[in-house]
Amino acid sequence: MNPPRKRPNVVVTRRLPPAVETRMRELFDTRLNHDDKPMGPTELAEAVREADVLVPTVTDEVDASILAQAGPNLRLIANFGNGVDNIDVQAALARGITVTNTPGVLTEDTADMTMALILAVARRLAEGARIVPEDEWAGWSPTWMLGRRITGKRLGIVGMGRIGQALARRARAFGLSIHYHNRRRLSSRTEEELEATYWDSLDQMLARMDIVSVNCPHTPATYHLLSARRLKLLRPDAVVVNTARGEIIDETALARMIEAGELGGAGLDVFEHEPSVNPRLVKLARSGRVVLLPHMGSATEEGRVDMGEKVIVNIKTFMDGHRPPDRVLPSML
Ligand code: 8YV
């Protein structure tokens, strides 16, 4: 008889929904982070030394120096999240560590939030929502709190993966015309279905859009993709929305241009140095031309449970000796 297989030692770096934590404890020898404090380099190094499987989130910087301290048992990093820019995937793969993520289950929620930010900036939702509770409403006026119409405007989507396409579907329903730039052009069938126009040149697309939404992953190739030079190509009343990663936009250049009236505004859910936010953007948010959210694009109860389920399936499949469904491959980086 084979000896019973040892349950894997799984270290989870943040609190997850109770149903997910309970199931993980049933299946694995799971170490939870009860006080939910983000782990610093010392705690992360300790976690990778002891774990067979690490379950990090966007708040964990699993870089090459952390991975260099991994113990011989660390075989899988099952990221609780879609983006894997918090992990040095190349360094992990070089050490024979498999990396997985949670694609698909946060697509609709993130696309909803992107659409909400487009509306919030164009129709001044955040400003308006402050006025009644702060007792500042003197009554209706025909010339007060005027935003900009959405219908008939051009939306340029930078990164037409799952989330970009889900956004395109929503935006069509709001009467926007859809334009996109992507590493790979979509099939003509999908383009027709989304009524989307492909731009091979990002620069040319940017110069013609009323609203630009960033929906690509953060990789070395997309770092500051919306650079100061590219932001200058935008129309002076254009709005920029980002629910992907802060690093994709040069935030300082963005803030400078909005301050100078060279851009219409921005709606941002993600920032380069989370949780700190560029003070110039914060100041602009007080004046109303910028709407800032604390990285809550995928924050729904259902989404978090689905993400947890994906993490569990990835770990279980891997531990059973099979290829986990959501492996991150070098070609995706
Ligand atoms: C998640 C995200 O909340 O999955 C992603 O890439 O940006 C977020 O929506 C976060 O990553 C969880 O780790």
pLDDT, tens only, 229-254: 999 999 999 999 999 999 999 999 99
Residues 18 and 147 in one domain: no
Evaluate whether residue 3 is within a structural domain. no
pLDDT tens for 120-141 read 999 999 999 999 999 999 999 9
Evaluate whether residue 1 is within a structural domain. no
pLDDT of residue 4: 54
pLDDT of residue 6: 85
Atom of ligand 1 nearest to the CA of 270: 7
Evaluate whether residue 74 is within a structural domain. yes
pLDDT of residue 5: 63
pLDDT of residue 331: 84
Residues in the chain predicted with pLDDT less than 50, given as ranges, are: 1
Evaluate whether residue 76 is within a structural domain. yes
Residues 171 and 264 in one domain: yes
Contact between 13 and 59 (Cβ < 8 Å): yes
pLDDT of residue 3: 54
Residues 211 and 62 in one domain: no
Residues 69 and 162 in one domain: no
* 83 CB within 6 A, ligand 1: yes
Residues 116 and 211 in one domain: yes
Residue 310: closest CA among 300, 321, 299, 324: 324
With 0-12 CB in 10 A as exposed, 13-18 as middle and 19+ as buried, what is 148?
Answer: middle
Residues 287 and 327 in one domain: no
- Please give the tally of structural domains in the chain: 2
With 0-12 CB in 10 A as exposed, 13-18 as middle and 19+ as buried, what is 290?
Answer: buried
Evaluate whether residue 73 is within a structural domain. yes
Residues 60 and 80 in one domain: yes
- Tell me which residue has tokens 């349950």: 7
Residue 215: closest CA among 254, 245, 250: 245
pLDDT of residue 333: 80
Residues 14 and 101 in one domain: yes
* 100 CB within 6 A, ligand 1: no
Residue 322: closest CA among 330, 332, 331, 313: 313
Q: Could you tell me the CATH number of the domain that includes residue 207?
A: 3.40.50.720
pLDDT of residue 124: 97
Is 295 designated active site? yes
* 81 CB within 6 A, ligand 1: yes
What's the gap in Å between 245 CA and the centre of ligand 1? 9
Atom of ligand 1 nearest to the CA of 81: 4
* 266 CB within 6 A, ligand 1: no
Evaluate whether residue 4 is within a structural domain. no
Atom of ligand 1 nearest to the CA of 79: 13
Tokens describing residue 82: 């879609």
Residues 251 and 170 in one domain: yes
Is 208 designated active site? no
Evaluate whether residue 2 is within a structural domain. no
pLDDT of residue 330: 87
Bridge partner list, 282: none
Evaluate whether residue 46 is within a structural domain. yes
pLDDT of residue 222: 98
Distance CA 55, CA 81 (A): 10
Distance CA 251, CA 271 (A): 8
pLDDT of residue 48: 98
Is 179 designated active site? no
Residues 274 and 306 in one domain: no
Residue 304: closest CA among 110, 73, 84, 100: 110
Q: What's the longest Cα–Cα distance across the chain? A: 82
Beta strands in the chain (DSSP E): 9-12, 29-31, 53-55, 76-78, 98-100, 154-158, 177-181, 196-198, 211-214, 239-242, 265-268, 290-292
Cα of first residue to Cα of last residue in the chain, in angstroms, is 43
Give the domain extent around 161: 107-292
Residues 316 and 285 in one domain: no
Residues 90 and 199 in one domain: no
